[in-house]
Amino acid sequence: MIIETLDILGPNQNGNSGTHTQKPIKTRNWLLIIINCALVFCGVIGGPLLMRLYYLHGGSRKWLSSFLQTAGFPVLIFPLIFLYIKPKLSTQNNDQSSSFFMEPKLFLWSAIVGIVFGVSNFMYALGLSYLPVSTSTILFATQLCFTAIFAWLIVKQKFTAFIINAVIVMTLGSILLGINTNGDRPIGVSKTQYLIGFLMTLAAAALTGLGTPFVELSFIKATRNITYPTLLQFQVILCLFGTCLNVIGMLINKDFQAIPREADMFELGKSKYYMIICLTALTWQLSGIGLVGLILYTNALFNGIYVSVLVPFTEVAAVIFFHEKFTGLKGMALALCLWGFSSYFYGEYKMMNKVGDNETHEKIEEAESEPKRLEDQQAPYSTV
């Protein structure tokens, strides 16, 4: 593993090919980063709650739950159409049309990542059907450890001491849940089912940790700059392949025939059944586009850390809405996650200061070494 000091920045993740130097964090587009963080926040908080609501009131279709995590991609077609038509309405030059569509290489990468996430989504849906939202969320936070490992292997992510500390501490916080695996087992769930849910959630975290560096790698390998229309197309293709994988599972499991019967027997009513399904698909889609955008404008590791730090918010929401138990071990796990998150951003703060000091020092040296022209110098005195 390559450990960098604060004097050296990691590789650039701006979507261009070749060898790059990462931009200082203060030069990034913070508005886009904040927007994508907000989208991820909606999905990470709302997605698990809606899925658990589905399971608690009579829902039992695992492939359907997995399907909903990517099936909302058609909503992205409308902004894509607008972005495609807008340049044609504003200018007579249609050369932009050829560069609007993403290159074949990026299409292939998005398809591969979509299949990886499709498998991960099913494992996550299966795990959540047997686990409380709070437990599932903290377990899934272990994706940070897998993201760090795969980011190092796939995109040669550089690590500072603060990043390593954050990854280790946040991962230990998630592992604490394994000490008492039966302490919060839901009523009606056997020990075997609880263990299956535990293992499936960890497997989903591992696959997610593999998929996010692949997204970053695909942006690095792109030969053209990644525009926002390209980003939306990447997300559409990713979700399309992930959805197709889940549709195959639904066909084999005969979920399409079972959905109307399940809706009729749903405890909250038929209309609310379909409302929950639609809201779940929309919520996960917002999270998906935010995740891809966050990787583009930062990197896969930052995305993993941000998702992990949202664990406390999901925990609080699960306790409020579902009255789940909040054990001492969960409290310790949350404290470790917050500690790791603080460590990461303290490292970023130190890096920003280091970059700023270096830039100022370079400008001073450049100014001192540059000879002043005689005509540029001011006279020491003036004559009257």
Cα–Cα distance, 8 to 173 (Å, whole number):
29
Cα–Cα distance, 96 to 79 (Å, whole number):
17
- Write down the pLDDT at residue 369: 57
Is position 162 within any domain? yes
Exposure letters 31-66 (e unless 16+ CB within 10 A, then b): eebebbbebbbbbbbbbbbbbbbbbeeebebbbbbb
* Identity of the highest mean pLDDT range in 179-188, 291-300, 342-351: 291-300
Count structural domains, the chain: 1
Is position 236 within any domain? yes
Contact predicate 191/185, CB 8 Å: yes
Cα–Cα distance, 30 to 24 (Å, whole number):
12
Is position 381 within any domain? no
> What number is the average pLDDT over the span 294-316?
84
Burial environment of residue 384 by CB neighbours within 10 A (0 to 12, 13 to 18, 19 or more): exposed
The rounded mean pLDDT for the chain is 80
Is position 240 within any domain? yes
Q: For residue 264, give its domain range.
A: 50-87+97-359
Q: Where are the alpha helices (DSSP H) in the chain?
A: 30-56, 62-68, 77-90, 96-100, 104-128, 133-140, 143-154, 161-175, 191-221, 228-253, 255-265, 270-297, 300-309, 311-322, 328-369
- Write down the pLDDT at residue 346: 81
pLDDT band at 373 (very low <50, low <70, confident <90, very high): very low
Is position 102 within any domain? yes
Contact predicate 48/136, CB 8 Å: yes
Is position 24 within any domain? no
> What number is the average pLDDT over the span 294-315?
84
Is position 62 within any domain? yes
Cα–Cα distance, 301 to 167 (Å, whole number):
9
The percent of residues above 70 in pLDDT, for the chain, comes to: 79
pLDDT digits (tens, 9 = 90+) for 52-98: 899 989 998 999 999 999 999 999 999 999 888 877 666 555 555 55
Strand partners of residue 3: 159
pLDDT for residue 291 is more than 90: yes
Is position 113 within any domain? yes
pLDDT for residue 260 is more than 90: yes
Contact predicate 114/237, CB 8 Å: yes
Cα–Cα distance, 21 to 12 (Å, whole number):
5
- The 3-state DSSP class for residue 217 equals helix
